[in-house]
Amino acid sequence: KKSLFSGMQATGTLQLGNYLGALRNWVEFEDEYECFYCVVDMHSITVRQNPAELRKKARALLTLYIAAGLDPEKNCIYYQSHVPAHAELSWILNCFTYMGELSRMTQYKDKAAKHAENINAGLFTYPVLMAADILLFQSDIVPVGDDQKQHIELTRDIAQRFNNLYGEVFTIPEPYIKKTGARIMSLQEPTKKMSKSDENPNASIFLLDDTDTIIRKFKKAVTDSDNEIRHSKDKPGISNLIEIYTIASGKTIAETEKEFEGKGYGEFKMAVGEAVAAMLKPIQDRFEELSKDKAYIDQIIKNNGEKAQYFANKTLRKVQKKVGFPERI
Ligand code: TYM
């Protein structure tokens, strides 16, 4: 069976981009692939976190994976920090990654600019830990949004370099990026991607926002001044809303343009808000329900953590042997 790995940071409530660009697509792989979906709490501490908050958010994220439709019997849903092999492989891969490569990562450059007071070594080697995540599970594909493409290219380079030296150890992963939804833009600055850490609360729709909040934020969304609902490069705000609407409603871009021909932005924004709220409502209800069942979630954390550990250790032992670490007696 082929395998697949993906993960998300537990640094805040998921926003609509996380859902449309990644999580929504994850549910379709469970029969064809051995799937590993991780809560990457080790990546989260590259920026300062409140410990109690981080613990809470990590658990909420894991619960949200299930609420969004991932069956924990068919998908291995677990915490990165519960599987030490991530850190162990990451160290080894650090020794096969160049400073120059890491300096070119755009996410690093953005984060370093934003957190100038705390440019720590973990922030710099963040992509190496990500490579370890992916390569530990011999992943064939990695379903992500557009912003993770550069990291996956680096992962491929590291894997190729290692294989050239030691033989076929790692599967070379392919990014899996859907055309629609791969880059959802901010509602307030539609030339910038939607992000959990945006200071303006109106810029992002959060997965647990209630219907009124969702509609209010869409009503306030920044658009251009002509009043035509048309998907076009020079209309980033409206194009973003059209894209969101097509996914939430299941209609095509052409159908959407036709549906709102001659209608105003106000009416369209209302329709987008309602469609998104309707799409998220069942996930929110299920999240509520699951959050109450502590024993059920605990048991998933335990069982899946052990399963991930088993798979990860197989790759790790192979790698340790290749680089020349002494055998275990
Ligand atoms: P993170 O937590 O920032 O985002 C999680 C997923 O959501 C996607 N995404 C978006 N998609 C569309 N539009 C947006 N505006 C948008 N914002 C975020 C991301 O592309 C991602 O798929 N480094 C990763 C986490 C990670 C990982 C991994 C992912 C750690 N190890 C191994 C894949 C494989 C991150 O910070 O994602």
* Mean pLDDT split into 10-residue runs, the chain, 329 residues: 96 92 96 98 96 97 97 98 98 98 96 92 98 98 97 98 98 96 97 92 96 98 93 96 97 97 96 98 98 98 98 98 94
Among 29, 136, 147, 241, residue to substitute to test ligand 1 (most atoms within 8 Å of Cβ): 147
- The ligand 1 atom at the shortest distance from the C-alpha of residue 147 is 20
Where are the alpha helices (H) located in 137-252, listed in sequence order? 149-166, 211-219, 236-249
Cα 21 to Cα 148: distance, rounded to the nearest angstrom? 11
What pLDDT is recorded for position 236?
96
What pLDDT is recorded for position 11?
82
Cα of 19 vs centre of ligand 1, distance in Å, is: 10
Spell out the domains of the chain, with CATH numbers in brackets.
Answer: 2-177+293-323 (3.40.50.620), 211-288 (1.10.240.10)
Written as one letter, the residue type at 147 is: D
**79 beta partners:** 39
Q: Are 246 and 238 in contact (CB under 8 A)?
A: no
What pLDDT is recorded for position 196?
87
17: annotated binding-site residue?
Answer: yes
- Sheet arrangement for strand 141-143: 75-79, 33-39, 2-8, 141-143, 174-176
Q: What are phi and psi of 7, to 5 degrees?
A: -155, 165
Q: Are 4 and 34 in contact (CB under 8 A)?
A: yes
7, 202, 265 from 220: Cα distances, Å: 31, 8, 11
Cα of 228 vs centre of ligand 1, distance in Å, is: 32
What pLDDT is recorded for position 328?
86
146: annotated binding-site residue?
Answer: yes
Cα 225 to Cα 220: distance, rounded to the nearest angstrom? 14
- The ligand 1 atom at the shortest distance from the C-alpha of residue 186 is 15
**193 beta partners:** 185
Taking each helix axis from N to C end, the angle separating 294-323 and 51-67, rounded to the nearest 10 degrees, works out to: 100
How many residues appear in the chain?
329
Structure tokens at 6: 């993906």
- Report the phi/psi class of residue 40: left, alpha or beta, with left for phi > 0 and alpha for psi in -120 to 50: beta
Cα 92 to Cα 323: distance, rounded to the nearest angstrom? 9
Cα 77 to Cα 37: distance, rounded to the nearest angstrom? 5
Q: Are 176 and 111 in contact (CB under 8 A)?
A: no
pTM: 0.96
34, 111, 125, 148, 152 from 140: Cα distances, Å: 10, 28, 23, 16, 12
Among 3, 18, 204, residue to substitute to test ligand 1 (most atoms within 8 Å of Cβ): 18
Q: Which residues line ligand 1 (CB under 6 A)?
A: 5-9, 17-18, 21-22, 40, 43, 130, 133-134, 142, 144-145, 147-148, 182-184, 193-194
Contacts 24+ apart (CB under 8 A), 250-255: none
Q: Are 213 and 204 in contact (CB under 8 A)?
A: no
Q: What are phi and psi of 84, to 5 degrees?
A: -60, -20
Return the residue matching tokens 């100038």.
Answer: 116
Residues known to be catalytic: 111, 193, 196
Neighbours of 95 (CB within 10 A): 8
105: annotated binding-site residue?
Answer: no
41, 108, 125, 198 from 105: Cα distances, Å: 20, 5, 10, 20
Q: Is 228 helix (H, G, I), strand (E, B) or coil?
A: coil
What pLDDT is recorded for position 275?
98
Q: Is 225 helix (H, G, I), strand (E, B) or coil?
A: coil
